[in-house]
Amino acid sequence: MGTLIWTTIGAILTLSVYSFLYKDNPFYKFAEHLVVGISAGYYLVIYYYNFIDPNVVTPVFQLRLGDQAIGFGSGAWWLALIPGLLGLLLYTRFFPRVAWVARWSLGIYVGGYAGLGISPVMQARVIEQIGANALPLTSVTNVLIVVGLLGTLAYFFFSMKHKGILGALARVGIVFLMVGFGASFGYTVMSRISLLIGRVSFLLHDWLQVV
C-alpha cells in the first residue's frame, strides 16, 4: 500500500514534468519548484553528514586529546580546524562589510585545484596523445587520424589568419569536426530514448501495471 502511494506520487510528478512538452503550466511549475526545494534540503543535509560532520565537527569536538596524531593525514583535530575555519570564512559573505574575507577560502580552493589540474591534463591530453598519434602514414586509418588531428589543431590556431596552407588545413579540420559532431549526435539518440522508455515503463508497468 505504502509503495502504491509513493509510486503514485512519483507518477504524478513524472506526468507533471512531461506536461512541460505541451507548454509551461501550473503542474510543471509545481514540479519544478518542488524539486528545487527538495534538492536544496537534500544536499544541505547530505553535505553535512558526509563532509562536515566526519571531517570537522567530530574530530574537533572530540578534541582527541592525548592521542599522538600529528602531521598531515593523521586526522589530528587541530588539522580539522583549518578547513572548518575556511568554511566559516565563506560565511563572511553574509556581511557585506567583511565579505572580501571569503576570498581567502576561494583563493585556496581555486589555486589548489588549478595546480592540481595542470599536470594530469598535460599527461592525458598532450603527452599521451603524442605517443598515440605518432603514426606512420602507412594505412588509411592512420592517415585519417593524423590528418583529422592536424586539421582540427589548425582550426584552433589563433595566431594567424586562416589563409593559405593554414586556411586549407583549417577547412579540413572543420570537415572532421562536422562529421564528428553529426556522428556523436546520432550515436546519443539511442541512450536518450532508453531513458524515455525507462520512464514510460515506470508509468505503465510499475504504476498502472497494465503491461
Gap between the Cα atoms of 4 and 118, Å rounded: 51
Q: Please state at what angle helix 26-47 crosses helix 2-18, rounded to 10 degrees.
A: 120
Which residues, 68 to 127, sit near other proteins by CB under 8 A?
71-73, 79, 82-84, 86-88, 90-91, 93-94, 100, 102-127
Cell numbers standing for residue 54: 566526519
**In angstroms, what is the minimal distance from the CB of 69 to other proteins?**
12
**In angstroms, what is the minimal distance from the CB of 151 to other proteins?**
7
Binding residues with other proteins: total (CB under 8 A): 144
Beta strands in the chain, from DSSP E residues, in sequence order:
none
**In angstroms, what is the minimal distance from the CB of 6 to other proteins?**
4
> Number of helices (H) and strands (E), helices first, in the chain?
8, 0
129 is a site residue for other proteins (CB under 8 A)? yes
Binding mask 174-203 for other proteins (x = CB under 8 A): xxxxxxxxxxxxxxxxxxxxxxxxxxxxx-
Among 27, 60, 69, 146, binds other proteins (CB under 8 A): 146
Q: Measured on CA atoms in the order 80, 85, 87, 88, is the torsion positive or negative? A: positive
Among 65, 66, 68, 131, binds other proteins (CB under 8 A): 131
10 CB-near residues (< 8 Å, 6+ apart)? 202, 207
**In angstroms, what is the minimal distance from the CB of 63 to other proteins?**
18
Q: Nearest Cα to 151, choosing from 123, 129, 173, 136?
A: 173
**In angstroms, what is the minimal distance from the CB of 57 to other proteins?**
11
**In angstroms, what is the minimal distance from the CB of 208 to other proteins?**
11
Q: Nearest Cα to 150, choosing from 170, 165, 136, 134?
A: 170
Minimum CB distance to other proteins smaller for 168 or for 179 = 179
Phi/psi-derived region of residue 63, left when phi > 0, alpha when psi is between -120 and 50, beta in every other case: left
Which residues, 27 to 56, sit near other proteins by CB under 8 A?
28-52, 55-56
